[in-house]
Chains A and B, each alone.
Chain A
Amino acid sequence: MKQLLILVFLTLTLFSAEQANFYYERGKKVSLEAIPSVQRSVNNINYYQHANGSVVGVSDKILVKFKHFDESLLKKYSLSIKKQYSPLLYLLKNENTLSTLDISNQLFNEDSIEYAHPDFIRKVSFR
């Protein structure tokens, strides 16, 4: 019973941990404001609002540009390769329990990564 309580506690702690509300763009942090969960879709996409008011969705996909490809990072962050767009630009899938924003930000700080950010979902404005 005690072990079960500890497990429940750890689980709750894990999921209640504050998730990152920013990502890196041109090497600088860009803040995002999470849109309340009641407005989120049911297909594991979280929505955020930029300072300029535009809304973006974040799924489990991450775009990563390597300085030099480092396969060990895939295992370290539980990532799988979905597509490759250029020799060093990859679309990766986040298989981790941490949020896509968190994983993207941790990847950004790896020495072998040039940039990393979620594969944002955006609304198109026809002009």
Chain B
Amino acid sequence: MRIYVFLLSVFLLIGCGVDEDDNGAVFDDNITVTPSPSPTVEPPFLNTGDDTLLLEQWSIFKDEDFYRLNGVDEDAHIHARNSLNTFSGKGIKVAVIDNGFEIHHPELSSKIISTYNFKNDTKDIDIIADKVSHGTAVTGIIAASANDIGIRGIAPDVELILLEMPDFLTDSNTIEMFDKAVALGADVINCSWGTGNVSDAVREHLNNLASNTSEGGRDGKGVLIVFASGNDNSLMGNDESSVEGVFGVGATSSENLRTSYSDYGPDLDIVAPGGEFLGISTLDLLGNPGSSDDEYIRYNEVKDGQLAGFVGTSASAPILSGVLALALEKNPNLTADDLKELLKVGVEKTSRNIPYMIDIELTNKSNPIFRGTLGTESNSEFDLEIRTINGSFIGRYSISFEGDGTWSSTVTDNLGNGEYKARLLGQNITYATDSSFIVKLFAQDEISNGYSRNDFYGYGKVNVDLLLENIN
């Protein structure tokens, strides 16, 4: 899991030289900005279950009020309206290889059919003392019950195989973990982790288990193996998520952008929501030892004064795993290759301009500096977005300027009361370092590291209804 806490965390665009009109547009002497248009209205969503936190599950559910109040892009969700009313993963076994499973969680406990602990080679994975909630959060995204409490998983009726893994693995351990998952009957295996280096033996073994051959899982149809691509904003390289037979999943934000952290590259298969400003609401350990003080991690979770939401490609991978369970429920005979081809058709097309996200880094709070890199773009349009520290949307504004691809800005005036004035490539902005606001820039076009947008985004963002419509 990546608990994404911005280094700069506090900026404010208020004060000298900045005015706001009746529509919320912000002006100063050098920047003319226009608020983004209001999102379109969609009819109500699910007709099953009434989970109390469903409205904040922006990744699968578009609640008009939540989207508007939090500035969520109207297409940020996975377009599952029809599918989630029809399919629930019934009859499909999903293995989660992870750590920190809350097997007593009321949203999960009834669907756990097998467990195994590779730390001590027993079936006991009760981890209350460990205070690690990663596996619980991952599993909740897949399988939390559709009922009248809490959140809803993508595939709430799957059967769960929970495999507790150690922090250090030998290659032979890895092979044995996947063999165990397949032996226990897994149709889908979710892996929200990676090592960054895959050996020949592990690569071949994963490909064999995923293959439509006698060595494949699921009685030779091939087990579906899903890996998170990683959170280092770097090329995936020789990672488990790059293995040919594996589904490698990157992360998008509530702005429907590639997140600033998501690893990328030509081996990325697809992206799904992983959150950035807004996290993915999911399950936590019971009580307060986990990431929250109760059994849920909220989209805007704060614990001990720190942002504690579940954010990362760890959240994106189980979204795809849940979606694949729905697909197998509709047609259990689909192979991994079949589904990879179907995903190419069933994704949200990337003709929509998905910007390359840029962070503003506060390098020195006592002497603040804006700093960023724009990839290889030299003349760029930007969206400037302002949120509270808890992620609430304040506004998004279009600005433009020319540059050489990198930029920085130093403080030109200390206005007192914690407010400073700076110049950003010739444009005056004002901010306060002790206020509760976050400012982010998004380049509206992106090329970086020689990879095209399609390489960044694989096939594009998963679109569940389209995917299932194309399955016979």
Contacts and interface: CB of A to CB of B under 8 A. Distances in A.
B463 interface: no
A124 B230 CA distance: 11
A123 B195 contact: yes
11 contacts: A54-B197, A61-B170, A85-B176, A89-B201, A115-B200, A121-B169, A124-B165, A124-B167, A125-B193, A125-B230, A127-B228
Interface string A22-55: 0011100000000000000000000000101010
A29 to B, nearest CB: 13
A121 B168 CA distance: 7
Interface in A60-114: 61, 63, 65, 83, 85-86, 89, 91
A86 B168 contact: no
Contacts of A24: 200
Interface in B148-176: 165-172, 175-176
B195 A127 contact: no
B134 A83 contact: no
A119 B171 contact: yes
B237 A52 contact: yes
A124 B195 contact: yes
Contact of A120 (B99, B165, B171): B171
A21 to B, nearest CB: 15
A2 interface: no
B223 interface: no
A126 B168 CA distance: 11
Given A120-B171, A126-B1, A127-B228, A115 B197 contact: no
A20 interface: no
B170 A86 contact: no
Interface residues of A, number: 28
A52 B196 contact: yes
A115 B168 contact: no
Nearest to B263: A127
Interface of B: 1-2, 98-99, 134, 165-172, 175-176, 179, 192-197, 199-201, 204-205, 208, 215, 228-231, 237-238, 312-314, 317
B412 to A, nearest CB: 38
Contacts of A85: 172, 175-176, 179, 201, 205
Contact of B193 (A61, A89, A120, A127): A127
Contact of B313 (A26, A119, A127): A127
Given A123-B195, A124-B165, 15 more contacts: A25-B200, A61-B172, A85-B172, A85-B175, A85-B205, A89-B201, A117-B199, A122-B195, A122-B196, A122-B197, A124-B194, A126-B134, A126-B193, A127-B2, A127-B193
A125 B194 contact: yes
Contacts of A126: 1, 98-99, 134, 192-193, 314
Contacts of A59: 170
Given A63-B172, A85-B179, A85-B205, A127 B200 contact: no
A64 to B, nearest CB: 9
Nearest to A91: B172
Contacts of B230: 125, 127
Nearest to B262: A127
A63 B201 contact: yes
A25 B208 CA distance: 18
Contacts of A63: 171-172, 199-201
